[in-house]
Structure formats: structure tokens, C-alpha cells
Amino acid sequence: MKVLITGAAGFIGSHTAEKLHDNGYEVTGVDNFSDYYDVSLKNLNATALAKKGISIHKLDLRNALALEALDQDFDFIIHFAAQPGISATSTFEEYLTNNVIATQNLLEFAHKNSGLKHFFNIATSSIYGLEATFPEDVAPQPASHYGVTKLAAEQLVLAEARTNKLKASSLRLYSVYGPRERPEKLYTKLIACAFKNESFPLFEGSEKHLRSFTYVGDIVNGILQALLVHEKLNGEIINLGTEEEHTTQQGIDLVEELLDQKIAIDVTEKRSGDQWRTLANIDKARRLLNYNPSTTLKEGLKQQIDWYKENFL
């Protein structure tokens, strides 16, 4: 089975590419190697994939013509590529073009793959809004350009399923962490600040935010299971996360415990559109995917710390 993974040099995309490759899938990756964060980190991921024989094409999905360089016989497409997160440095145009226009271009490419079995859109709990504790049938209330444009991308994909043009579904991911996490995200930045003896910038009030922190390995297992049962997922939206809930402060405390070190905190102005609570409702994922996340936050953070030490110290 041939799989195309967009955003394959990124955090979750690279782990998914490895997992599918190890399970016998023929994986092709694409990534635009954006400078949203240090490109050397994506290159590090791409090198790890290349050692396994997984090729990554440098390709910007906003350019529809660039997709013509790819094969057109994929069995599955898994679409991670997006303008990520809530960032004051990202413009609305960047969210619009990377999350909406790029998705539409990819869908048009998908139609050229006559044997395509399923298109998986990778979405986010940010679609729900400031609180993300709901089942999949609750009306979304996104509160950021990121959430709004990811919802638009999801609806573009699901419209294809509703009109019987493609078999497609959308997986909404919750607060994913682990090895290769982006450098501006909570745990990679915390760990880096600890080793560099720098202060960690904490948004005012965010230490009380509740998060469904989900280890990347559990997320990837859920994605693999979705491929295996794709025939019953057409048109479905499925939450992937964990039912364990921790505050940001509890996460900071765990990193300090594992490193046996206090991390200096620099409180900064609160961030507009930041979710105050995510708690994944995974009843549907359990029923359809037999999804069962099992990695504790402490276990996952230990893996992330070990990865950081191996690659950056």
C-alpha cells in the first residue's frame, strides 16, 4: 500500500511516516520546509526518515502545479501540512493559504489518484474553541485564525465525502507532545530552557490551563488503526487524545522532577485565542478504532528528555 504524507518532516508527520513504514507501507513524504521554526530541526527529522528509505519531496502545497511531480497511484493520503499554532508572527494570509488553499489543491490532486482508498485530514482540538472537551457532534466554536482555518480545511475534506467524490475523514488531535515536538511548544521549550539555564516564558494565567497531553506514539497508533479500518470511517470526525488531564503547572513540575532542576519562569502577557481546557472525548475512537492511549505523561516526558539530550547536548 502506497501512502502520501504531507508535512512529513514535521513533528507528528515524521513519526507517522516511520510507523507506517515499519508496518509495511510504502511511504512518500512532502514538506515545504517552512522557516516558521528552525529548518535544521525538520532536516534532522528528514535525515532520520531517509535512513529508513523514506523519501521527502520539498514541495509547497500552495502551488498546485508542484503536485504534478508526484506519483498518482497512492492508496492513502494523510494530510498533516498546515500553518501551525497560535502565533502573533503569523499573518491571516499565511493561515488561509497554508491551511485552506493548500488543502483544496491537495484534494484536487487526490482526484487524480484513481485507486485512492481514503483521504485522512489531520485536524486539531482548536476547532472546538476555547474549551475542547466535547464529542465530535458538538458545533465548533474556534477562537483563533488557526482554529478557523483548520475547521475550513476539515469541511473542504468532508464535503468530498458528503458528495461521494472521495472517501475521507478527519482526525482531531489533542495537545500532542514527545520527541521532535516543535521548539516553541511547551515541553521542548521547557527542556531547552532547563539545559540552557534560561527563563521559560509562561503566558499569564496559563499555568492553570488544563490539557489532554497526549504522547505522540499513542496518536500514531491511532492513525495506523484508522488506516486499517478505513472502510468504516467515510465522513467521520474522530477525536484522538487522552482522557488524562493535567494543568500546565503539573507539566512543568514533572519536567523539573525528571531533570531534578528548578526552571526559572518569566511571566508574559496572556495570548489571545489560547484554549483554557482540552480533554479528549475518545468514546468514538475507542468504538471505531479500538483506540487505547496508554503512555503516562511522566513516561512520555522521559522519552522527550532523552531525545533532547541525544540530539542537542
Inter-CA distances, 270 with 36, 88, 224, 292, Å: 21, 12, 37, 34
- Find the length of the chain: 313
**Alpha helices, DSSP H, located in 204-275:** 216-228, 248-259
- Catalytically active residues, by annotation: 146
CA distance linking residue 58 with residue 3, whole number of Å: 16
Rg of the chain, C-alpha, whole Å: 19
Helix 186-196 and helix 248-259: axis angle, to 10°?
Answer: 40
> Is 280 buried (19+), middle (13-18) or exposed (0-12) by CB count in 10 A?
buried
CA distance linking residue 220 with residue 216, whole number of Å: 6
What are 147's three cell numbers? 482554529
- Match 479528549 to its residue by C-alpha cell: 280
Cβ-contact 47, 35 below 8 angstroms: no
What is the tally of helices (H) and strands (E) in the chain? 10, 15
Buried b (16+ CB within 10 A) or exposed e, 191-227: bebbeeeeebebeeebbebbbbbbbbbbbbbbbbbbb
Residues 6+ apart with CB under 8 A from 205: 270
CA angle (193, 199, 203) in 5-degree steps = 105
What are 25's three cell numbers? 507501507
Q: Are strands 168-173 and 118-124 parallel, antiparallel or unpaired?
A: parallel
